[in-house]
Amino acid sequence: MIPTLFGITLISFMILHLAPGKPTDVLADFNPKITPEARERLEKMYNLDKPVIVQYVLWLNKIVKFDFGESFSSDRRPVIDKIWDKKQPLTERRLFITFMLNVITMFVILVIAIPLGITSATHQNTLYDRITTTSVFIGFATPSFWLALLLMMFFGVYLGWLPISGLKSMNYDSLSLAGKIIDRINHLILPVFVYAFGGLAGDSRYMRSSMLEVIRQDYIKVARAKGLPERIVIYRHALRNALLPLITLIGLSVPGLIGGSVIMESIFGIPGMGQLLFMSVMTRDYPVIMGIVIIVGFLTLLGNLLADIGYMLADPRIRH
């Protein structure tokens, strides 16, 4: 875990030095308006006048204290305040928004993918199985941002049922508590659906093959032989074992899911980390970009660790 964490910072640091010449030259190339003063700030922040190794160590020293420097944008706020603003309520902080969106999406994916995978495994080679398999292939191939556009066009513009941008309405503050909750949910329906759609195909496929493997095992035959009803065989005996590999899959799908947040948040105008990264790339706000890459890498690592622990708790066979 520690070496990986170290590696993440090393890769981020390498990106800074990826471009030919000094990073300050690149900055000037892309943004001719850059002032000598901004250039100086960048030099000072990354200690660009010192040897590369020294630069890296000094930079690392700041990062362990969550000091990612100041944004290049005119507000000059510290990067960490942009990502996790302590002055704002929790639900307005970018990291929290992205995190919650991912958690909700993961939940929706599992709630749909697990039954879908199980039923198509227990009905292997039937018409139902073939329809779900075909849908999975099409689901794999559908660009999420296109699906987002189509749904925005249909439910947002044509029918006018759902809002197509942001996380709350203009009049949010004047709404009653129930109204506020409904308003939030309305804003979340489209993003969460589109977001979940991409992961759905893979996870249901995975669930299906995991289930197929389990129901061929001897203990399932035994359960059937002793006359247990099929429902109990499937949901009590087979399901528990088939669910195990899913824990690993959840861990593995975290980077992809978070990666998707850039496009999703940009399309739906959701003020999360992905949108911040997008805006920072557009304005070449390097300190913010580096900060986000490191924090997201760190969170993904944490997610993988949690998946490993979860696996250990769920499967007594590998506890030792």
Partner 1 sequence: MKTSLLRNIFWKRFKRNKIAVIGAIIVFLLFIIAMFAPLFSPYNQNDIDRNHILEPPSFKHPFGTDDLGRDVFSRMLYGARTSLLVGFVAVGISTIIGIFFGSIAGYYGGWTDRIIMRFIDIMLTIPTFFLILAVIAFIGPGIWNIMVVIGLTSWMGVARLVRAEFLSLKEREFVLAAKAIGVSDKRIIFKHILINSLAPVFVSAVLGIAGAVLLESGLSFLGLGVQPPTPTWGNILTLGKDNIEIAWWLSVFPGFAILLTVLGYNLLGEGIRDAFDPRLWEAEQG
Region of 133-141, 178-186, 212-220, 222-230 interacting with partner 1 (CB under 8 A): 133-141
Region of 60-68, 121-129, 166-174, 288-296 interacting with partner 1 (CB under 8 A): 288-296
CB of residue 2 to partner 1, shortest distance in Å = 12
Number of residues that bind partner 1 (CB under 8 A): 54
Closer to partner 1 by CB, 229 or 259: give it: 259
By CB under 8 A, name the one of 42, 200, 215, 262 that touches partner 1: 262
* Calpha distance 240→199 (Å, rounded): 21
Helix locations, the chain, DSSP H: 2-16, 23-30, 36-45, 52-63, 79-83, 94-122, 127-141, 144-151, 177-214, 218-225, 230-232, 239-268, 273-283, 286-314
| Residue type (1 letter), 277 | L
**In this structure, how many other beta carbons lie within 10 angstroms of the beta carbon of residue 264?**
25
- H or E stretch covering 320: none
CB of residue 116 to partner 1, shortest distance in Å = 19
Closer to partner 1 by CB, 114 or 301: give it: 301
By CB under 8 A, name the one of 80, 286, 307, 311 that touches partner 1: 286
Q: Report the Cα–Cα distance between both ends of the chain, in Å, rounded.
A: 19
* Calpha distance 295→291 (Å, rounded): 6
Instruction: Calculate the alpha carbon distances from 159 to 25, 74, 153, 156, 227 in Å.
Output: 50, 40, 8, 6, 52
Region of 43-51, 68-76, 140-148, 212-220 interacting with partner 1 (CB under 8 A): 140-148
* Calpha distance 161→143 (Å, rounded): 23
Helix locations, 154-272, DSSP H: 177-214, 218-225, 230-232, 239-268
Q: Are 190 and 155 in contact (CB under 8 A)?
A: yes
Closer to partner 1 by CB, 70 or 237: give it: 70
Q: Does 284 bind partner 1 (CB under 8 A)?
A: yes
**In this structure, how many other beta carbons lie within 10 angstroms of the beta carbon of residue 273?**
29
Q: Does 258 bind partner 1 (CB under 8 A)?
A: yes
Region of 7-15, 93-101, 114-122, 310-318 interacting with partner 1 (CB under 8 A): 7-15
Q: Is the dihedral of CA 281, 287, 288, 290 positive or negative?
A: positive
Closer to partner 1 by CB, 102 or 119: give it: 102
Closer to partner 1 by CB, 25 or 230: give it: 25
Q: Does 71 bind partner 1 (CB under 8 A)?
A: no
- Find the binding residues for partner 1 in span 21-50 (CB under 8 A): 23, 26, 30
- Find the binding residues for partner 1 in span 93-132 (CB under 8 A): none
Residues of this chain that bind partner 1 (CB under 8 A): 3-4, 7-8, 10-12, 15-16, 18-19, 23, 26, 30, 137-138, 140-143, 145-147, 149-150, 152-153, 157, 164, 255-256, 258-260, 262-263, 266-267, 277-278, 280-282, 284, 286, 289-290, 292-293, 296-297, 300-301, 304
